[in-house]
């Protein structure tokens, strides 16, 4: 099962994470939000991803504008900031009442009548996932969402959720420095669930030639193929994803049209088996 605009028949090349999209970009040739959305559509990046907790759904809605019918619009619910403003001050609410209130708020802010894919943003320790998914399924029956997704969950969560209602996508980080999701791949393939691989460049850390365990091999390969370290890191996710049994959609985030084009270029880089083995060896050694 794969994801594409309005249908689930053809997977996009990759998605576009909009977590850092802000109003500051309007009028900037490289960072205008509407320009970014249009540029993404023009190059085949039609899956746009945001979340209630990012606080920018209204901005995303304005940026999408008249392009609504050309994209797969995704958002998430369930994670809420505390009053202190500290990064570690947050909690999860995933009870049925929150599900119903959250979707109505997201649709209003995004100025749309439905979402193509709606994720539980984080597993809850308080609400059984069956209850959350049952409430999400009711949203689908009501026409408010087209498909259900999960993020920051366990394999047990995925199986329990899928038994209540088919799950279309699971969003988890997959990068050279975070490979735990590889344990999910057989189960996702078995159940026909797509992996949406967020932060494939390690939240930006893999864009740099120092400061991480794979910096040297990344820099060496990047020099050989005429790319940046970040592009090689993204290319690694693309190639490993193409070799997986199920569907994998990398989801790099950017607010820059220039970086968007660089990310698309990365999807076309073909790493050699030696390149892949070197990168795998370094990261496996770090995990040992």
Active site residues: 54
Token reading at 250: 């990398």
CA distances from 248 to 37, 42, 107, 194 (A): 22, 21, 27, 6
**Exposed (0-12), middle (13-18) or buried (19+): which is 213, by Cβ within 10 Å?**
middle
Q: Which of 110, 268, 244 is nearest to 170 (CA)?
A: 244
CB neighbours of residue 140 within 10 Å: 17
Element (H, E) at 220: helix 215-225
Cα separation, 243 vs 280, in Å, equals 14
DSSP letters, 64-118, are: HGGGGGGSEEEEEE-EEE-TT--TT-EEE--SHHHHHHHHHHHHHHHT-S-BSEE
């Amino acid at each position: 099962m794969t994801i594409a605009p309005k249908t689930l028949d053809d997977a996009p090349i990759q998605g576009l994470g909009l977590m850092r999209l802000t109003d500051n970009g309007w009028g900037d040739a490289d960072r205008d939000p509407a320009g970014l959305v249009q540029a993404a559509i023009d190059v085949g990046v039609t899956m746009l991803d945001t979340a209630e907790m990012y606080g920018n759904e209204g901005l995303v809605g304005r940026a999408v504008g008249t392009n609504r019918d050309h994209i797969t619009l995704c958002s998430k619910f369930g994670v809420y900031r505390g009053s202190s403003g500290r990064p570690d001050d947050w909690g999860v609410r995933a009870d049925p009442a929150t599900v119903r209130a959250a979707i109505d708020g997201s649709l209003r802010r995004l100025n749309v009548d439905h979402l193509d894919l709606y994720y539980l943003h984080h597993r809850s320790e308080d609400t059984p996932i069956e209850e959350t998914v049952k409430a999400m399924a009711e949203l689908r029956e009501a026409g408010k969402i087209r498909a259900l997704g999960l993020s920051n969950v366990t394999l047990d969560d995925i199986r329990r959720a899928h038994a209540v209602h088919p799950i279309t996508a699971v969003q988890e980080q997959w990068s050279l420095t975070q490979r735990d999701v590889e344990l999910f791949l057989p189960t996702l393939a078995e159940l026909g669930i797509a992996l949406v691989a967020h932060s494939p460049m390690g939240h930006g850390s893999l864009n740099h030639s120092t400061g991480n365990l794979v910096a040297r091999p990344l820099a060496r390969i990047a020099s050989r193929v005429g790319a940046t370290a970040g592009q090689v890191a993204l290319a690694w996710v693309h190639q490993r994803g193409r070799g997986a049994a199920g569907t994998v959609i990398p989801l790099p985030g950017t607010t820059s049209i220039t970086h968007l084009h660089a990310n698309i270029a990365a999807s076309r880089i073909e790493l050699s088996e030696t390149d892949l083995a070197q990168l795998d060896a370094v990261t496996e050694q770090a995990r040992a």
